[in-house]
């Protein structure tokens, strides 16, 4: 028999594939989709992160170490000679780094306009040459930026290739741009050849940057070159001791982790969704293999009688699973790569998440990751095959040979405890704290909940049907259907496992997205109380001057103006920046918590956003310090507000305090309340005309309704991938239910023959099947939705706060849930009837004798 085994294996495999091509294809597809999604998400993310990292490295100029100002307003330039003289520092290069823009900027979500954003650097080229040679330009004639053209680069600018292409500039032409609220019009001297294709970057002389852009005495960054053989850790510590409160040491590693942190939660969550899709695939494999095993039991029994050992049988089924897995994984990798390519070209490297502005992602094929995802697909397929294989091996051949012993004994109660245990464990894990800032355990909990829910299906189906079965029905088809479902819950759960899993996942995602969207919508209404808003893009380094502000306020039709100065500050190295918002007037934010009393004397009251509170552990009523204008200032946390716009935290402080502490009187944002009867459009035009010419291209006006619409559009776009995943999951689930159900119906041909034989009409059998299908669909939908709601609660209450550090209110999309349930029931019933028609096509006599 040993010699026969491979032959038998091949024969069985080929026979099964010939007999059930659709079901096998569905199983392969299910695995493929899981692998594809996981691989695609990984590819896109690593491409985006790689390109973002390269862009960041270009802007950094690849210095050994940098000291950075915590805020865009920079730090005192006097730090430069102090750092330059520290032992272990070979050279120090001071840099003015300000966000800048050219042309007219498009508002978020709107089609691209003629302009764009870039990073403007002011360097001392003699120092940059030693520390960051990548930031030295090359003229059109190929000469180094040092010693060519104008000695101090007065009126000269060097552009990175990416910026050169984006602004369609050429050497020798003037390049008009705006930075720190001022316009400048230097001549393009050449390119920053070493800065690569990823960063939009321009370099001018540092003295020119300070003078033309009003950055006197300030630098944003000091790049350092370490002496040969110096110990970076020791030097970093020494530098850190020498730094004022508004500066911090940024190591290349720290910068990389900052880039990583920027989108990590988003990436991990997408990856988890892909793995969940793979899990659904696993259930489908299980379902397909179980059915196939049940159907082939006599074949296996025959082989066993002929001498195939139980172990041989298990091996046989595992080989089948392996073939499914290999096919699925291979298809999945190809599909994933195609999907990633499409996503990168259509949605951009951040899949619409908005994390990496302007960075152009390039796709690579990482063999290690490919092997990893293929392995996951294989493992899933094998695991899905192992359970039915072991079950099949347990059945005595003699029973199976007679077509009996299909494992369904109505007298035996399906055990509920494994499912309940899994659900209990899952619930426990779901409430666990985050690991490394990520909801890993919560996701593991969700997987256990899912598995538990599926495992509980037979017991649940019986429990739900028990009252009906006891009561019976006078209508024969209903009575038969109920008794069948009640008596063979394992069979029902086989058909249902895939659909329950995918329904649960879909419901979970839908509820989470609906909750999030509703909360964001409510929040938008709360944060946009005024009639007209003005925002300056790329104006962190300085916006509208006080006299221009006065001109804006003098525009007729305005009842009240709330001005704001927004900038980002870095509170910790390796962490993304926090938004510092100095707001005039009464802060218009939805407060979640509020301090009992007023701020203690000598402190500045601040309102912190929810992510801020989470990330930095600040609580209402706390006193803390904030480095403003070079010194740590005592602040008092007067409240926590809900914020969905700034994932890495935001701090609101009174504009008057900010101006007193910093002397910075500019503003970057303003909210206008209009006088009664004033026309918003006319006022907007008057305001635009009153703006200084330099910032007109950066200015974006918005009205609340329109801003809300755009925000929700962006929201929907960023969840586009989620919606796609949902649709794919539900589609696979539905196909799965259709194939497994029709297989089961065909397998019961002999039963239908018997029913017809004892006088049940054909229509009655069909009605019975429709009712059975509808019942299964109902049970599946009910279980799937219940399980999905449980998973949604984990997503909303645990995964989101742990990933993005904001909370939301649960909102249930009832129409969607009802529609889903109806679709499931209709699909199950329809499939059952269609398959039944085929099964009943033969005469009853033939059916009874059916010997498949």
Partner 1 sequence: MRRLVLLLLAPLLLAADFAPVKPGVPFRFPADHGAHPAFRTEWWYVTGWVQPKSGASAQAAGIQITFFRTRLPRAKPNRSRFATEQVIFAHAAIADPATGRLRHATRIARSGFGLAQARVGDMDVAVDDWRLWRGADGRLHGHVVVDGQRLDLAFTPRQPIILQGRAGYSQKGPNPSEASHYYSWPQLATSGTLAGKPVIGTAWLDREWSSTLLNPRAVGWDWLGINLDDGGALTLFRVRDTNGRALWAGGSHRDRAGKTQIFQPQDVDWQAAGWWKSPRSGARWPVRPIVRYRLGSQWQALEIKPLMPDQELDSRSGGGPLYWEGAVTVPGGRGYLELTGYSAPLRM
d(CA 223, CA 217): 17
Query: Which range binds partner 1 by CB under 8 A, 39-47, 58-66, 79-87, 663-671?
Result: 79-87
Binding of partner 1 at residue 205 (CB under 8 A)? Answer: yes
Tokens representing residue 129 in the block: 């040459």
* Residue at token pair 């916006």: 543
Q: Which of 146, 371, 390, 559 binds partner 1 (CB under 8 A)?
A: 146
DSSP H/E element including 17: helix 4-19
d(CA 513, CA 727): 14
d(CA 275, CA 267): 12
Q: Are 128 and 194 in contact (CB under 8 A)?
A: no
- Give residues 19-78 in contact with partner 1 (rule: CB under 8 A): 77
Residue closer to partner 1 (CB basis): 81 or 841: 81
d(CA 91, CA 71): 24
Query: Which range binds partner 1 by CB under 8 A, 144-152, 270-278, 476-484, 779-787?
Result: 144-152
Instruction: Work out how close the CB of 231 gets to partner 1 at its nearest, in angstroms, rounded to a whole number.
Output: 16
Query: Which range binds partner 1 by CB under 8 A, 145-153, 373-381, 785-793, 829-837?
Result: 145-153
Q: How many CB atoms lie within 10 A of CB 265?
A: 20
Among candidate residues 835, 780, 782, the one with its CA nearest the CA of residue 496: 780
* Torsion, Cα of 52, 58, 59, 63 (10° steps): 120
Query: Which range binds partner 1 by CB under 8 A, 84-92, 331-339, 377-385, 830-838?
Result: 84-92
Binding of partner 1 at residue 152 (CB under 8 A)? Answer: yes
* C-alpha dihedral sign at 419, 421, 426, 431: positive
Q: Are 47 and 364 in contact (CB under 8 A)?
A: yes
Binding of partner 1 at residue 231 (CB under 8 A)? Answer: no
Instruction: Work out how close the CB of 241 gets to partner 1 at its nearest, in angstroms, rounded to a whole number.
Output: 21
Binding of partner 1 at residue 739 (CB under 8 A)? Answer: no
> Mapping DSSP to helix (H, G, I), strand (E, B) and coil, where does residue 591 land?
strand
Alpha carbons within 13 angstroms on the beta-carbon side of residue 609 total 27
Q: Which of 97, 208, 246, 772 binds partner 1 (CB under 8 A)?
A: 208
> What angle separates helix 310-347 from helix 4-19, to the nearest 10 degrees?
50
Instruction: Work out how close the CB of 186 gets to partner 1 at its nearest, in angstroms, rounded to a whole number.
Output: 12
Instruction: Work out how close the CB of 94 gets to partner 1 at its nearest, in angstroms, rounded to a whole number.
Output: 8
Q: Which of 139, 144, 545, 593 binds partner 1 (CB under 8 A)?
A: 144
Query: Which range binds partner 1 by CB under 8 A, 119-127, 498-506, 691-699, 814-822?
Result: 119-127
Residue closer to partner 1 (CB basis): 122 or 325: 122
Query: Which range binds partner 1 by CB under 8 A, 16-24, 125-133, 517-525, 772-780?
Result: 125-133
Contact pattern from residue 573 through residue 612 relative to partner 1, giving x for each residue in contact according to CB under 8 A and a dash for the rest = ----------------------------------------
Contact pattern from residue 261 through residue 290 relative to partner 1, giving x for each residue in contact according to CB under 8 A and a dash for the rest = ------------------------------
Q: Which of 7, 141, 216, 814 binds partner 1 (CB under 8 A)?
A: 216
What is the helix, strand, coil percentage profile of the chain, to 5? 55, 15, 25
Q: How many CB atoms lie within 10 A of CB 706?
A: 12
**Eight-state DSSP code of residue 105:** P
Residue closer to partner 1 (CB basis): 82 or 750: 82
Residue closer to partner 1 (CB basis): 82 or 362: 82
Q: Which of 6, 15, 81, 172 binds partner 1 (CB under 8 A)?
A: 81
Binding of partner 1 at residue 194 (CB under 8 A)? Answer: no
Query: Which range binds partner 1 by CB under 8 A, 204-212, 387-395, 447-455, 616-624?
Result: 204-212
* Residue at token pair 């050994």: 64
Binding of partner 1 at residue 665 (CB under 8 A)? Answer: no
Binding of partner 1 at residue 223 (CB under 8 A)? Answer: no
Q: Which of 228, 233, 367, 602 binds partner 1 (CB under 8 A)?
A: 228
Binding of partner 1 at residue 108 (CB under 8 A)? Answer: no
> What angle separates helix 814-839 from helix 489-527, to the nearest 10 degrees?
160
Q: How are beta strands 591-594 and 631-641 bridged, if at all?
A: antiparallel
Q: Which of 151, 172, 338, 428 binds partner 1 (CB under 8 A)?
A: 151
Phi, psi of 99 (to 5 degrees): -70, 145
Phi, psi of 563 (to 5 degrees): -95, 155
Residue closer to partner 1 (CB basis): 128 or 534: 128
Residue closer to partner 1 (CB basis): 154 or 521: 154
Q: Which of 76, 104, 154, 716 binds partner 1 (CB under 8 A)?
A: 154
Q: Which of 147, 411, 556, 596 binds partner 1 (CB under 8 A)?
A: 147
Residue closer to partner 1 (CB basis): 62 or 107: 62
Residue closer to partner 1 (CB basis): 80 or 175: 80
Distant-in-sequence, close-in-space partners of 707: CB < 8 Å, separation ≥ 6: 524, 528, 533
d(CA 170, CA 174): 9
d(CA 825, CA 738): 11
* C-alpha dihedral sign at 529, 534, 538, 539: negative
Q: Which of 39, 80, 636, 719 binds partner 1 (CB under 8 A)?
A: 80
Q: Which of 4, 13, 207, 444 binds partner 1 (CB under 8 A)?
A: 207
Residue closer to partner 1 (CB basis): 78 or 675: 78
Q: Are 102 and 154 in contact (CB under 8 A)?
A: no
> Mapping DSSP to helix (H, G, I), strand (E, B) and coil, where does residue 583 land?
strand
Among candidate residues 295, 266, 285, the one with its CA nearest the CA of residue 332: 285
Among candidate residues 460, 458, 465, 453, the one with its CA nearest the CA of residue 489: 458
Binding-residue total with partner 1 (CB under 8 A): 32
Instruction: Work out how close the CB of 68 gets to partner 1 at its nearest, in angstroms, rounded to a whole number.
Output: 19
Residue closer to partner 1 (CB basis): 148 or 257: 148
Q: Where are the alpha helices (DSSP H) in 676-748?
A: 680-690, 704-718, 720-747
Q: Are 556 and 498 in contact (CB under 8 A)?
A: no
Binding of partner 1 at residue 716 (CB under 8 A)? Answer: no
Binding site for partner 1 (CB under 8 A): 77, 80-81, 84-85, 91, 94, 124, 126-127, 129, 143-144, 146-152, 154-155, 205-211, 216-217, 228
């Amino acid at each position: 028999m040993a010699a026969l085994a491979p032959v038998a294996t091949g024969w069985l495999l080929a026979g099964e594939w010939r007999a059930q091509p659709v079901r096998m294809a569905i199983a392969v597809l299910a695995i493929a989709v899981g692998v594809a999604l996981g691989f695609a998400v990984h590819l896109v993310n690593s491409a985006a992160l790689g390109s973002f990292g390269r862009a960041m490295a270009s802007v950094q100029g690849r210095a050994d170490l940098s000291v950075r100002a915590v805020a865009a307003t920079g730090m005192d330039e006097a730090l430069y000679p102090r750092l330059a003289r520290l032992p272990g520092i070979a050279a120090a290069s001071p840099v003015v780094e300000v966000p800048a823009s050219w042309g007219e900027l498009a508002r978020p979500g709107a089609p691209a306009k003629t302009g764009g954003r870039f990073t403007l650097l002011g360097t001392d080229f003699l120092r940059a040459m030693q520390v960051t040679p990548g930031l030295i330009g090359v003229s059109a004639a190929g000469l180094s930026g040092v010693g060519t053209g104008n000695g101090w680069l007065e009126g000269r600018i060097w552009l990175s290739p990416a910026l050169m292409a984006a602004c369609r500039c050429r050497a020798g032409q003037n390049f008009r741009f705006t930075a720190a609220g001022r316009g400048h019009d230097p001549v393009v001297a050449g390119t920053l050849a070493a800065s690569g294709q990823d960063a939009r970057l321009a370099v001018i002389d540092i003295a020119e940057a300070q003078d033309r852009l009003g950055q006197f005495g300030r630098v944003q960054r000091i790049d350092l070159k370490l002496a040969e053989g110096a110990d970076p850790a020791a030097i970093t510590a020494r530098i850190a001791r020498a730094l004022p409160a508004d500066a911090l040491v940024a190591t290349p590693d720290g910068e990389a982790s900052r880039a990583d942190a920027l989108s990590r939660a988003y990436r991990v969550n997408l990856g988890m969704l892909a793995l969940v899709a793979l899990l659904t695939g696993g259930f489908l494999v299980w379902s397909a293999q179980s059915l196939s095993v049940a159907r082939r039991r006599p074949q296996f029994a025959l082989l066993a009688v002929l001498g195939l050992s139980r172990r041989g049988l298990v091996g046989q089924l595992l080989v089948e699973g392996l073939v499914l897995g290999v096919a699925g994984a291979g298809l999945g990798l190809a599909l994933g790569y195609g999907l990633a390519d499409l996503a990168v070209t259509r949605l951009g490297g951040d899949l619409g998440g908005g994390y990496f502005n302007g960075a152009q992602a390039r796709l690579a094929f990482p063999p290690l990751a490919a092997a990893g995802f293929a392995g996951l697909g294989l493992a899933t397929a094998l695991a899905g095959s192992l359970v039915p294989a072991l079950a099949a091996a347990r059945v005595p051949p003699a029973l199976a040979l007679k077509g009996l012993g299909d494992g369904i004994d109505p007298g035996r109660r399906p055990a509920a405890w494994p499912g309940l245990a899994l659900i209990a464990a899952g619930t426990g894990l779901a409430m666990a704290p985050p690991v490394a800032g990520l909801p890993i355990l919560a996701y593991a909990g969700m997987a256990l909940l899912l598995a538990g829910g599926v495992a509980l299906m037979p017991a649940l189906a019986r429990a739900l049907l028990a009252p009906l079965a006891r009561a019976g029905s006078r209508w024969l088809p209903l009575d038969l259907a109920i008794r069948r479902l009640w008596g063979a819950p394992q069979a029902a759960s086989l058909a249902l496992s895939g659909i329950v899993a995918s329904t649960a996942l879909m419901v979970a995602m839908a509820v989470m997205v609906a909750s999030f969207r509703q909360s964001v919508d409510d929040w938008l209404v709360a944060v946009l109380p005024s009639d007209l808003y003005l925002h300056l893009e790329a104006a962190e380094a300085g916006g509208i001057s006080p006299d221009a502000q006065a001109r804006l306020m003098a525009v007729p039709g305005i009842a009240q103006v709330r001005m704001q100065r927004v900038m980002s500050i870095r509170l910790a190295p390796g962490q993304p920046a926090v938004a510092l918002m100095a707001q005039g007037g009464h802060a218009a934010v939805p407060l979640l918590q509020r301090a009992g009393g007023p701020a203690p004397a000598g402190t500045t009251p601040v309102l912190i956003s929810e992510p801020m509170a989470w990330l930095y552990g600040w609580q209402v009523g706390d006193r803390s310090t904030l480095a403003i204008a070079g010194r740590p200032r005592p602040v008092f946390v007067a409240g926590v507000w809900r914020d969905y716009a700034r994932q890495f935290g935001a701090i609101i402080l009174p504009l008057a305090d900010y101006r007193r502490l910093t002397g910075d009187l500019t503003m970057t944002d303003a909210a206008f309340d209009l006088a009664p009867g004033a026309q918003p459009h006319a006022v907007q035009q008057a305001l635009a005309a009153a703006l200084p010419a330099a910032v007109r291209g950066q200015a974006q006006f918005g009205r609340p309704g329109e801003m809300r619409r755009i925000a929700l559009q962006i929201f929907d776009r960023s969840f586009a991938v989620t919606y796609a995943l949902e649709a794919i999951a539900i589609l696979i689930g539905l196909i799965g239910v259709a194939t497994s159900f029709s297989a089961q119906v065909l397998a019961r041909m002999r039963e239908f023959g018997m029913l017809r034989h004892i006088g049940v009409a054909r229509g009655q059998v069909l009605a019975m099947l429709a009712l059975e299908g509808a019942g299964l669909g109902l049970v599946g939908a009910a279980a799937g939705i219940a399980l999905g709601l449980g998973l949604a609660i984990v997503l909303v209450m645990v995964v989101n706060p742990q990933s993005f550090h904001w909370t939301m209110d649960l909102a249930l999309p009832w129409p969607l849930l009802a529609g889903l349930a109806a679709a499931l029931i209709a699909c199950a019933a329809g499939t059952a009837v269609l398959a039944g028609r085929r099964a009943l096509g033969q005469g009853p006599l033939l059916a009874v004798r059916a010997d498949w």
